[in-house]
Structure 1
Amino acid sequence: MADLCPCGSGRGYAACCGPVHAGALAADAEALMRSRYSAYVREDADYLLRSWHPSTRPPAIAFDDGGRPAWLGLTVSRHEARGDTAEVEFVARYRIGGGSAVRMREHSRFVREDGQWYYLDAISS
């Protein structure tokens, strides 16, 4: 069986988020958001920074060994695109150490520039 993509699409990584991590354009904001979730699972800081809009991008991303989450899954509840902007609402589940599972809800905004989608920020819902 192929290495399943962490984003929960049910497809293999090589046919799902793998090409986007390697430089292919994400088809839409939801695909970009799924690829970013997979990048967190795979601890691909370079991709996370490349897919973050320069106006809101942090200078670096560090994966702390002490509080490293074990990612448990992703559920996308809404994807709404309006031209070159989009919003995606999702729940990402993770656990740190032997603790209880945590459900992180996020309402993210994305922008497309020159055909490429970027993560912009998360807003309060």
Structure 2
Amino acid sequence: MSTSRPGRRSAARPHTRPVLHSPGAPCPCGLPAGYADCCGRYHAGHAAAPTAEALMRSRFTAYAVRDAAYVLRTWHPDTRPADLDLDPHLRWERLEILGTTDGSAFHTEGTVTFRAHYALRGERDAMEEQSRFVRHDGAWVYVAPLP
């Protein structure tokens, strides 16, 4: 996901304090694991996402728990914004992975096509994007949406 709100970038200061998420709670990324054993370990820096899809899932989860620092840390430095404004009224609810190309442990590039469901001030909607990922300094990072 490229921004904190669909179609919006901001120069405001990032929310640096993530929303507390119980380690045993289901991970927002949709995989059948608890947050701590799934995306939480990436957010905490205990491991790096091994695939482009795993990074996409962990970035979605970072938006869901409002961990702007992780989103920025996993964004390619050539396309990363200076700051990220995560709207407190925007709640990311569910992620669907629609397709992937490459992006495995054996690749240096990959794409992930996804649909992210959200609610903004009570109104539910979804956004779709095909995101480009590359390895940078040995780790997967988000580059930008494909046109």
Matched, 1:78 2:99: yes
Q: Residue 93 of structure 1 corresponds to which residue in structure 2?
A: 117
Deviations 1:30-65, CA, capped at 9 Å, x for gaps:
000000000000100100110000000000011234
TM-score, scaled relative to structure 1: 0.91
> 2:76 & 2:63 partners in 1: Cα distance?
17
Secondary structure of the 1:111 match is strand
Stretches of structure 1 that go unaligned for 5 or more consecutive residues are: none
Match of residue 79 from structure 2: 56
**Unmatched 5+ stretches in structure 2:** 1-22
- 2: distance between equivalents of 1:111 and 1:81? 10
Q: What residue number does 2:67 align with?
A: 44
Whole-Å separation in 2 of the counterparts to 1:87 and 1:93: 19
Separation (CA, whole Å) in 2 of partners of 1:7 and 1:70: 13
In the alignment of these two chains, the number of paired residues is 121
Query: What secondary structure, in the 3-state scheme, does the structure 2 residue paired with 1:60 have?
Result: coil
Q: What amino acid is the match of 2:75?
A: W
Q: Is the 8 A contact 2:64 2:93 kept in 1?
A: no
Is the helix fraction higher in 1 or 2? 1
The structure whose residues are more often strand, as a share, is 1
Report the RMSD for the aligned CA atoms in angstroms.
1.5
3-state SS of 2:49 partner: coil
Q: Which amino acid counterpart does residue 95 of structure 1 have in structure 2?
A: A
Higher relative contact order (CA 8 A, sep 6+): 2
User: Segments of 4+ in structure 1 off by > 4 A?
Assistant: none
